[in-house]
Amino acid sequence: MLPKARRLSKSRDFDRVFSHGRVLDCPPIRLIWAPGNGRAAVVASRNLGSIARRNRIRRRWREGLRTLMEEIPDNLDLIVVVKREGAETRGDVLLSELRSATRKLAKCGC
């Protein structure tokens, strides 16, 4: 789990990132980021399945995000939207996908 100080949790923060953030599409995920305090969240939509399945998907991606949190700039708030392709991604593949997405994020000049 992400440390509490690094979690994006308030709905107004989600709304701000979704409405004013920039988007980076990768095959299994979509990254949405905006200037902020270095917090992150993982979102899985209802089209991925039942609530239990979505919770499992979010837990996997949050754990991967937690291990890579030091690679995410401290001045960005980040939302990871899991797509259908990323629903079954696990382990090292998940980490490599997140790592490549964060590298692309760094190249965008944030």
Per-residue pLDDT in tens (0 to 9) along the chain, 110 residues: 788 888 999 999 999 999 999 999 988 999 999 999 989 999 999 999 999 999 999 999 999 999 888 888 888 999 999 999 999 988 999 999 998 888 888 777 55
Instruction: Please provide residue 3's backbone torsions phi and psi, each rounded to the nearest 5 degrees.
Output: -60, 150
Question: pLDDT at position 70, please?
Answer: 83
CB burial of residue 31 (10 Å; 0-12, 13-18, 19+): buried
Question: pLDDT at position 110, please?
Answer: 58
CATH (residue range 4-99): 3.30.230.10
Question: pLDDT at position 109, please?
Answer: 56
Question: pLDDT at position 32, please?
Answer: 95
CA distance 107 to 69: 17
Domain boundaries, the chain: 4-99
CA distance 34 to 84: 24
Distances, alpha carbon 86 to alpha carbons 20, 30, 54, 66, 72, in Å: 24, 10, 11, 17, 20
Q: Is 102 helix (H, G, I), strand (E, B) or coil?
A: helix
For 58-99, the three-class secondary structure string (H helix, E strand, C coil) is HHHHHHHHHHCHHHCCCCEEEEEEECHHHCCCCHHHHHHHHH
CA distance 69 to 71: 5
